Amino acid sequence: MSTENTETEERTVRCMIAKVGLDGHDRGARVVARAFRDAGFEVIYSGLHKAPDEIVQAAVQEDVDVLGISILSGAHNTLVPKVIAGLEEYGAKEDTLVLVGGVIPEEDREDLKDEGVAAIFGPGTPIEETIEFVRENAPER
Amino acid sequence: MFDDDELERIRESREDWEEETLDPFLEYGERKERFATVSNHEVDRLYTPEDIEDIDYDEDLGFPGEPPYTRGAYPTMYRGRTWTMRQFAGFGTAEETNERFHYLIDEGQTGLSTAFDMPSLMGLDSDHPMSEGEVGKEGVAVDTLADMEVLFDGIDIGEVSTSFTINPSAAVIYAMYVALADEQGVPRDEVRGTLQNDMLKEFIAQKEWVIPPEPSLGIVTDTVEFAVEETPKFHPVSVSGYHIREAGSTAVQEAAFTLADGFAYVEDCLDRGMETDDFAPLLSFFFNSHNSVFEEVAKFRASRRIYSRLMEDWYGASKDESKRLKFHTQTAGQSLTAQQPMNNIVRVTLQALAGVLGGTQSLHTNSYDEALALPSEEAVRVALRTQQIIAEESGVADIVDPLGGSFAVEKLTDEMEEEILEYIHEIKEMGDGSVRDGVLKGIDDGYFLREIQDSSYEYQQRVERGEEVVVGVNEYTMEEDTSPDILQVDETTRDRQLERLERVKEERDDEEVEDCLDALSEAIESDDNVMPYIVDAVKAYATMGEIMEVFEEHHGSYQETVTAI
């Protein structure tokens, strides 16, 4: 019998930080990825220039709890809903916390949230705030 | 610059000052334990002649317009004419950008600057699946020569100079511009402009690529060779540190990696058998200007001095023009905040001031709303007016190198020079004596990525700890409702662009396109300069994607090698 006590041992949150589309601005994605790792999360970084479908496949295969999508190209209205639709197709939408980071105009935010984005973190967000959000909202296994 | 007796006297009086005047004040302490620039370079309380005792005026500073150019690239600097105010523009389809170009020309602007959309930047056609959502978003969409014809409709390209911010597919855009000159009857040697075309910094920082680093470098060298022979007034490469800094590097890393990239291009051209003095005058640079004013000024001055000396010592440059580092500057996009966006106008002003005090040849000032979205017209106008106020009202443009001789700035310039050189020597060692090989190796094994990522992470931690104050973000914050008037790109842009692409494909002679692409393929195979073949292909209306695919067939497509964090 295993003696491990699931009550006291904190579960490791699995996160994927993903760059979708052609946008190569990865400074924020890399900083957040490293900060998540330092915060004790398990982190996978997608690498650049991924199609929405590639991200969905990877997120599903890696069975992540949190998917952080970084996008600064202005193509968020097209690409983010595609990722979410993909997760839904695999039945993974419900147990994946989807976050978006980058330059997202105010008027696009509601639509993205309606699609299923849990939170949007714009420029200047303290990383601690993002980490806290993940700790509080990462889905239970 | 001071004789020994004088220095001795100054040293004594400084010691007296410290004891009698300074020490009592230090009992109250200072604002911080340690003062440092935004790049975390520590600065002293006070600089005195002792800090610059090793400077030899003639050797190290000299006069503007003469090597080593520490005090400026040209003798009269902005008294002759002010820097070129080159604001980068482009959105939607070629028609819309053409309209903007005409407006700018009517307003008296003679330099055009073109921003392309992501698919064009990555060498993809608008109908490629990866282009979805990105067509015309951050710049103009160009698939074929037909788009360039519309983009420059009614503009005599013999009369304007055009800057093209594009990299992996730069050779195709260059070929289209040459083809356009041929169509308009403008002699090729009258074609003026600048192509960014700096692939090395793409692999280091900006991360737009198609094929791997080494063949990418080969195409850049082809464009340089072609420019020397065909378009001697056109700058084929703008060696760029801007993106390296934006990716999170320090000022020293920005200057060091950029100069190293520049030397890598020089070495590749020399390997082709070109002469330094034939191609070096065509090289230009592009730097970032960030918040710490004196550090930036020191960076620009140190870079000019290093370039001048190494071009002569390492690469045998003899003409002044080959040693003169000329550069464009853009204010730091990463420094802009989404919070209290009007504050960004002040940041941009200080950064622009640093660029001017550092002797830039041209300048782009960012718009205050760029951390929120693509800039609005009003924000673009304020950004341009910022430059005009610096030029016309502040008086800083009336004196050449006005900070020259400042104990602080000269000392910082020396310190920057030393640290930049340390990196350049390290890179050269990585390449066993070749800067080019060192740069390629550094790309391959993730050296640059690690260096930059460590700096950017360290900066972010300083911000989080409150050691770096960002006004409106971690200090002086307030509740606000940010909904500025921002530019929206027309969603029908993609449809209109796809219609034109389809029409061009229907109307062109497919057989001729095939022949041109085959000829290009053979040229790649036999290591010929690819430029004349690309010119032929674009004239036959081959698409950008079709042309880039030929390169991919030969060299494979590049995937990021290091995704570790």
**A87, A85, A120, A86: which is closest to A102 by C-alpha?**
A120
User: Which chain A residues touch B124 with a CB distance below 8 Å?
Assistant: 22
Residues 193-252 of B with CB under 8 A from A: 206-208, 246-248
Please write the tens of the pLDDT for every residue from B514-537.
999 999 999 999 999 999 999 999
Six-digit token pair at B387? 């430059």
Q: What are phi and psi of B42, to 5 degrees?
A: -70, 140
State how far the Cα of A69 lies from the Cα of A46, in Å rounded to an integer: 10
Distances (CA, A) of B439 to A27, B213, B444, B455: 21, 10, 9, 19
Please write the tens of the pLDDT for every residue from B314-339.
999 999 999 999 999 999 999 999 99
Cβ(B373)–Cβ(A74) under 8 Å?
Answer: yes
State how far the Cα of A70 lies from the Cα of A80, in Å rounded to an integer: 10
Query: Would you give the DSSP letter of residue B48?
Result: -
Which residue type, as a one-letter code, is found at position A72? L
3-state SS, residue B373 = coil
- The whole-number pLDDT of residue B492 equals 83
Alpha-helix runs per DSSP H in B407-492: 407-430, 435-444, 447-464
State how far the Cα of B134 lies from the Cα of B504, in Å rounded to an integer: 21
Cβ(A77)–Cβ(A108) under 8 Å?
Answer: yes
Cβ–Cβ gap B482/A106 under 8 Å:
yes
User: Which chain A residues touch B552 with a CB distance below 8 Å?
Assistant: none
Six-digit token pair at B11? 């040293």
Q: Is the peptide bond before B375 cis (omega within 30 degrees of 0)?
A: no
User: DSSP labels for B480-538?
Assistant: -----------TTHHHHHHHHHHHHHHHS-HHHHHHHHHHHHHHHHTT--SHHHHHHHH
Distance of CA B274 to the CA centre of its chain: 25
Choosing among A17, A27, A43, which should be mutated to test the B contact, i.e. which has the most B CBs within 10 A? A27
How many cross-chain Cβ pairs, A to B, lie less than 8 Å apart? 102
Cβ(B295)–Cβ(B254) under 8 Å?
Answer: no
**B84, B58, B40: which is closest to B305 by C-alpha?**
B58
Domains and CATH numbers, chain B: 31-82+198-209+238-361+369-476 (3.20.20.240), 92-195+514-559 (no CATH)
Cβ(A36)–Cβ(A131) under 8 Å?
Answer: yes
Partner-chain residue, chosen from A34, A43, A105, that has the shortest CB–CB distance to B373: A105
Partner-chain residue, chosen from B138, B247, B248, that has the shortest CB–CB distance to A73: B138
β-bridge partners, A44: A16
User: Which chain A residues touch B472 with a CB distance below 8 Å?
Assistant: 124
State how far the Cα of B493 lies from the Cα of B483, in Å rounded to an integer: 24
State how far the Cα of B222 lies from the Cα of B528, in Å rounded to an integer: 9
**A18, A23, A140, A13: which is closest to A86 by C-alpha?**
A18
Residues 408-467 of B with CB under 8 A from A: 453, 456-457, 460, 464
Band (pLDDT 50/70/90 cuts) for residue B90 is low
**The residue count for chain A:** 141
Band (pLDDT 50/70/90 cuts) for residue A10 is low
User: Which chain A residues touch B373 with a CB distance below 8 Å?
Assistant: 74, 103, 105
User: Which chain A residues touch B334 with a CB distance below 8 Å?
Assistant: 27
CB count within 10 Å of CB B484 equals: 16
Please write the tens of the pLDDT for every residue from B390-446.
999 999 999 999 999 999 999 999 999 999 999 999 999 999 999 999 999 999 999
pLDDT > 90: what percent of chain B? 86
Assign residue A40 a region (left: φ > 0; alpha: ψ between -120 and 50; beta: otherwise).
Answer: left
Q: Which residue of B has its CA nearest to A103?
A: B372
B470 in A contact zone (CB under 8 Å): yes
- The whole-number pLDDT of residue B494 equals 86
Please write the tens of the pLDDT for every residue from B343-375.
999 999 999 999 999 999 999 999 999 888 778
Q: Which residue of B has its CA nearest to A128?
A: B464
Residues 6+ apart with CB under 8 A from B459: B38, B40, B248, B468
Partner-chain residue, chosen from B118, B457, B473, that has the shortest CB–CB distance to A23: B118
For residue B285, the surrounding DSSP H or E stretch is: strand B283-289
- The whole-number pLDDT of residue B370 equals 85
Partner-chain residue, chosen from B137, B482, B559, that has the shortest CB–CB distance to A73: B137
User: Which chain B residues touch A37 with a CB distance below 8 Å?
Assistant: 565
B565 in A contact zone (CB under 8 Å): yes
**B128, B198, B135, B125: which is closest to B168 by C-alpha?**
B198
Lowest mean pLDDT among B55-64, B245-254, B371-380: B371-380
CB count within 10 Å of CB B258 equals: 31
3-state SS, residue A97 = strand
- The whole-number pLDDT of residue B100 equals 83
Cβ–Cβ gap B372/A51 under 8 Å:
no
Cβ–Cβ gap A45/B565 under 8 Å:
yes
The answer to whether residue B303 scores a pLDDT higher than 70 is yes
**A74, A63, A69, A52: which is closest to A117 by C-alpha?**
A69
Residues 6+ apart with CB under 8 A from B488: none
State how far the Cα of A43 lies from the Cα of A55, in Å rounded to an integer: 14
- The whole-number pLDDT of residue B482 equals 61
**B37, B40, B57: which is closest to B49 by C-alpha?**
B57
To the question of domain A14-137 being in CATH 2.120.10.30, the answer is no
Angle at B172 between CA B169 and CA B173, to 5 degrees: 90
Tell me which residue has tokens 């550090």: B295
Sign of CA dihedral B499, B505, B508, B513: positive
Assign residue A102 a region (left: φ > 0; alpha: ψ between -120 and 50; beta: otherwise).
Answer: left
Which residue type, as a one-letter code, is found at position B370? E
Sheet holding B237-240, edge to edge: B84-85, B362-364, B327-331, B283-289, B237-240
Please write the tens of the pLDDT for every residue from A88-128.
999 999 999 999 999 898 889 999 999 999 999 988 899 99
Residues 6+ apart with CB under 8 A from A71: A19, A20, A21, A23, A79, A80, A100, A101, A102, A104
Angle at B255 between CA B369 and CA B263, to 5 degrees: 125
Please write the tens of the pLDDT for every residue from A13-25.
999 999 999 988 8
3-state SS, residue B292 = coil
Band (pLDDT 50/70/90 cuts) for residue B487 is low
Assign residue B359 a region (left: φ > 0; alpha: ψ between -120 and 50; beta: otherwise).
Answer: left
Angle at B524 between CA B520 and CA B527, to 5 degrees: 130
- The whole-number pLDDT of residue A6 equals 46
Query: Would you give the DSSP letter of residue B422?
Result: H
Cβ(B363)–Cβ(B387) under 8 Å?
Answer: yes
Band (pLDDT 50/70/90 cuts) for residue A3 is very low
Share the mean pLDDT of chain B.
94
- The whole-number pLDDT of residue B336 equals 95
Please write the tens of the pLDDT for every residue from A67-96.
999 998 888 999 999 999 999 999 999 999
User: Which chain B residues touch A21 with a CB distance below 8 Å?
Assistant: 118, 130, 133-134
